[in-house]
Structure 1
Amino acid sequence: MSTLQAAADPDAPCRSVTLPAEWDAEAAAALAQLVPGTESIDLGRTASRWVDALAQDDAMARSLTWLLLMRQAAPTEGVWSCAFDRPPGFSVNLAAFVTPGEGFGAETFVAALRLISRVLRETASIRADQRNGELPLPGLFTAVPPTTPPQTEPAGDAPPAAALAGSILLTNLDACLAGVGLDYDSEDGRAAACAIAALATLTAHCGCGPDTLPLPPVRTVLPGLGETLRTVWNEAAVETETPLALIETGFSSSSAVDGVLGVEACGLAPVFSLLRPDGSLAQSTLCRLDARGFTAETALAAALAGEDVLPLPGATAHMAMYRALSGFVDQLPARPDPAAQPLNRKLERGMRRALPHRHGGFTQKTTIGGHRLFLRTGEYDDGTLGELSLTPTRESSMVKGLMDSFSEAVSIGLQYGAPLEEFVNSFAYSCFGPAGTVEGDPVATYATSMLDYAFRALSEAYLGNKLPDGPHEDEQMEPDPLLPLDLPGDEGNPPSRTRGSLRLVVS
């Protein structure tokens, strides 16, 4: 065990958090968020509260503790504070059931889900009177209609509806697929994800009747998963007159429980970075490199040579995975919206995408208000901008150095995934000298500064958006007063001006 200082948010005071030594600071911050208050947190004492509230015997308590220490499963946020006003749930870390060299442990996964399902159903039967969070409050004070006489025989043969016992939420799907050597954006990756989700739903619905079971997937891909699926299907597809309480399955949304489990990407979303928060390679990255036959050193050498070693999935892959899993679980998180959250920008951020040694681009020679400027660009293979160089030829050494440093800063930002639109919005129409008529480039006829011209030219070349000229200097401000000032003269006579003369004095 080790003790770290962590806080739920940057403005909150730090608390001492004692947890296993292999867990990181992100897990400590998640525990600080799950446990309210300002006192120190000990994982053993904190977990023992909800373990004692859920477990009915010592064997079940040891199993729940083992699942937590292995970071395979943990209860949802309400259970950590022993609040049972709503159906409880568990988040299950799929990547924690992958063993290097052995693949996905389907039997271990089923055993863990059976334990969780038993815990949820027993908790629901014992603490059903505490679920005041489900009371239909708007209808408490409405008039009660007159009751009809009870029937001696039930109408129809429909079985009574089973109550909801809780939920099992799967998470860290992308890291799980990386651990078994499958790409997130591939047919095999989606087939494996559907098989794992179907196995979870079959296990959770076992004992609820065959009407609640999903159809088995067409392909299983992973070794040993097909046999486990058939075994669980045979056990679950049995008619019963007394169905068990239903347990819903789905994929989780982002919460503090993900930090406790060490999740890289919540639910079914793809990972957004190849690095951990401390800058080291993530576990999923190491698995993907190993599947492609790379070590960290050879991958770095290939990346420096311009090769795209680990292409990260984008918005279309996320949507394809969402659609593939829709029939194998009971509930899914919100539909991914690529327009609201562009995944390609998030995926590139945090890792520098260097330009290849030989790359395209263009050079533009322009004159702005009589001052010459060279604009040079560097492009990736897909035609996007990755490098900028602004060189004024007749300016002082300080101006040249500042423009060169500014160009290098913009280039670094572009290579780390900063969108070009933000640079254009910030620097187009900036006003400082030299400014004036633009000669040599039809993209603009007048520029308020060299940066104004440069970023309007980049907007037209790489964003397809030609920005209009800004107001001219004589339209922006009142003309300066003329010097020398007119001197007051006699009444009725205009003021006289005398032209100065140059005198040469020799001493």
Structure 2
Amino acid sequence: MSTLQAAADPDAPLRSVLLPAEWDAEAAAALAQLVPGTDAIDLARVASRWVEALTQDDATARSLTWLLLMRQAAPTESVWTCTFDRPPGFIVNLAAFVTPGEGFSAETFVAALRLLSCVLRDTAQTRANQRNGELPLPGLFATTAAPVPTQADAPAQDDPTQPALAGTLLLTNLDACLAGVGLDYDSEDGRAAACAIAALTTLTAHCGCGPESLPLPPVRTVLPGLGETLRAVWAEAAVETENPLAFIETGFSNSAAVDGILGVEACGLAPVFSLLRPDGQLAQSTLNRLDARGFTAETALAAALAGESVLPLPGATAHMAMYRALSGFIDRLPAKPDPADQPLNQKLERGMRRALPHRHGGFTQKTAIGGHRLFLRTGEYEDGTLGELCLTPTRESAMVKGLMESFGEAVSIGLQYGAPLEEYVNSFAYSCFGPAGTVEGDPVATYATSMLDYAFRALSEAYLDKKLPDGPHQDMQGEPDPLLPLDFPGDGGDPPPRKRGSLRLVVS
């Protein structure tokens, strides 16, 4: 065990959190968010509260504790605070059921789901009187008082047309699970494996509810051993029953604090967007995918430096394709992803730098702003998007020239990591500092308030197809330019002769 200092948010006071030594600071922060108050947190003591509230069986309690310590499953947020006014639920970490060298442990996964389903149904029966958030009000607007039904007249909770909801089983960390078995998220095999796991989850949760509630199993299972387990669960679940069990809904989770407890890399069915952990090390899913391709971290770095694409990230439509593939194998899906919200060329690819090819296109523009020369050079990818910027003032001091060139290199690094050009244009266009003045050599602008103002307005027209108008001219009523005469005659004649100074020698 280890003790970490964590808080639910940056403004909250730090709390001591006692948790297993292999858990990280993110898990400690998640515990601080799940457990209200300001006192120290002991994971064992906090977990024992909801375990005792869910079951009185010692064997079941030990199994629930084991699933939590293995980071395979954890209850939803309301269960952590022992609030049972709604059906309880568990979040299942799919990646935790992958054994290195053996693949996905389907039998262990089914055993865990059966245990959680049994706990949810028992809890729903024992805690039914606490569900004040689901009390029906059939006679609320009745004109006459309806007779109070007796216990014998009460509708059955196990009506097959409206089955009682005992709880929810939500899956998460799908992409990390696929990485553990050597499959890519954006692939046919990856989607087939995800559908098989989702169908196995729904069949196990619906076992005992009647065959009409079962989904059809997928055609392909891909993962070794998963097909046999799927057929065995189907044969057990597809049995007619006169007294169906309470219904357990399956789905994929949304982002919540429980993700930190389970060490989730990607919530629900979303892909893993980062190849790195928050501490800068390679994520476990990245290591698994490198191992599946026969790379070590060192050989992958060498291949990347040689220009080889070692680990391609999921495409823009990968999330939607997975969402559509899973429809029909799971009861509830999260909100539909919208790829148009974050195009790939505008989304920051965390941890991945898209280097320019050795021979690339672009343009060079020679111009002058207020009489000060500037060379603007760009570098482009194969698709024509901007990936490099170089700003070189020719007749400035060494400091100014170095700062401008360093600024261009910093912008280039940001562009190659996926930073949107629009943000740079919004930040630096119309910036005001000298030199400023008339623009010569480029029709994109007639006046610029600074070299950066000109540069990013030129990039906006070239790469965003958006021409920005000139900014307001600077007021030149300050000090005169020392290169010009200080006094001009009012009548247009010759300037008055300067008064010759005299030199005095002072002897002390």
Same fold (TM over 0.5): yes
Change (3 A) 1:187 1:347: farther
SS of the counterpart of 1:197? Answer: helix
Find the aligned partners of 2:201 and 2:42 in 1 and give their Cα distance: 31
Structure 1 match to 2:483: none
SS of the counterpart of 1:348? Answer: coil
Asked if the contact 1:205/1:236 (under 8 Å) is kept, the reply is yes
Structure 1 match to 2:41: 41
Structure 1 window deviating more from structure 2 (462-471 vs 181-190): it is 462-471
Matched letter for residue 437 of structure 2: G
Asked if the contact 1:272/1:347 (under 8 Å) is kept, the reply is no
Asked if the contact 2:54/2:123 (under 8 Å) is kept, the reply is yes
Structure 2 match to 1:286: 287
Asked if the contact 1:78/1:88 (under 8 Å) is kept, the reply is yes
Structure 2 match to 1:491: none
Structure 1 match to 2:221: 220
Structure 1 match to 2:328: 327
Matched letter for residue 289 of structure 1: L
Matched letter for residue 423 of structure 2: E
Within 5 A, what are the aligned runs for 1:374-393?
374-393=375-394
SS of the counterpart of 1:315? Answer: coil
Change (3 A) 1:138 1:443: farther
Structure 2 match to 1:164: 165
Change (3 A) 1:502 1:442: closer
Structure 1 match to 2:496: 500
SS of the counterpart of 1:389? Answer: strand
Structure 2 match to 1:410: 411
Question: How far off its partner does 1:4 sit?
Answer: 0.6
Asked if the contact 1:272/1:346 (under 8 Å) is kept, the reply is no
Within 5 A, what are the aligned runs for 1:4-153?
4-136=4-136, 140=140, 143=143, 146=146
Alignment pair present for 1:176 and 2:194: no
Asked if the contact 1:182/1:188 (under 8 Å) is kept, the reply is yes
Structure 1 window deviating more from structure 2 (115-124 vs 50-59): it is 50-59
Matched letter for residue 307 of structure 1: E
Question: How far off its partner does 1:303 sit?
Answer: 1.5
Within 5 A, what are the aligned runs for 1:315-394?
315-342=316-343, 345-346=346-347, 348-394=349-395
Question: How far off its partner does 1:147 sit?
Answer: 6.5
Find the aligned partners of 1:138 and 1:304 in 2 and give their Cα distance: 69
Find the aligned partners of 1:227 and 1:122 in 2 and give their Cα distance: 29
Change (3 A) 1:345 1:31: farther
Q: Which runs of 5+ in 1 are unaligned?
A: 488-494
Asked if the contact 2:372/2:435 (under 8 Å) is kept, the reply is yes
Please list the CA deviations of residues 67-120 of structure 1 after superposition, one character each: whole Å capped at 9, or x if unmatched.
101100000000001111100000000000011111111111111000000000
Please list the CA deviations of residues 420-451 of structure 1 after superposition, one character each: whole Å capped at 9, or x if unmatched.
11000111122333333333333333323211
Find the aligned partners of 2:411 and 2:398 in 1 and give their Cα distance: 20
Please list the CA deviations of residues 286-332 of structure 1 after superposition, one character each: whole Å capped at 9, or x if unmatched.
01111111110011111222222111114310111111112111111
Find the aligned partners of 2:309 and 2:399 in 1 and give their Cα distance: 38
Asked if the contact 1:184/1:270 (under 8 Å) is kept, the reply is yes
Alignment pair present for 1:461 and 2:462: yes
Asked if the contact 1:184/1:190 (under 8 Å) is kept, the reply is yes
Structure 1 window deviating more from structure 2 (298-307 vs 459-468): it is 459-468
SS of the counterpart of 2:438? Answer: strand
Asked if the contact 1:164/1:245 (under 8 Å) is kept, the reply is yes
Find the aligned partners of 2:136 and 2:440 in 1 and give their Cα distance: 73
Asked if the contact 1:306/1:357 (under 8 Å) is kept, the reply is no
Matched letter for residue 502 of structure 1: R
Question: How far off its partner does 1:480 sit?
Answer: 7.1
Find the aligned partners of 1:13 and 1:137 in 2 and give their Cα distance: 43
Q: Percent identity?
A: 83
Q: Which runs of 4+ in 1 moved over 4 A?
A: 136-152, 341-347, 476-487, 503-507
Change (3 A) 1:442 1:149: closer
Find the aligned partners of 1:72 and 1:144 in 2 and give their Cα distance: 53
RMSD, aligned α-carbons: 2.9
Find the aligned partners of 1:219 and 1:442 in 2 and give their Cα distance: 61
Find the aligned partners of 1:57 and 1:399 in 2 and give their Cα distance: 75
Question: How far off its partner does 1:465 sit?
Answer: 2.2
Structure 1 window deviating more from structure 2 (202-211 vs 344-353): it is 344-353
Alignment pair present for 1:434 and 2:435: yes
Asked if the contact 1:314/1:344 (under 8 Å) is kept, the reply is no
SS of the counterpart of 1:390? Answer: strand
Aligned residues: 493
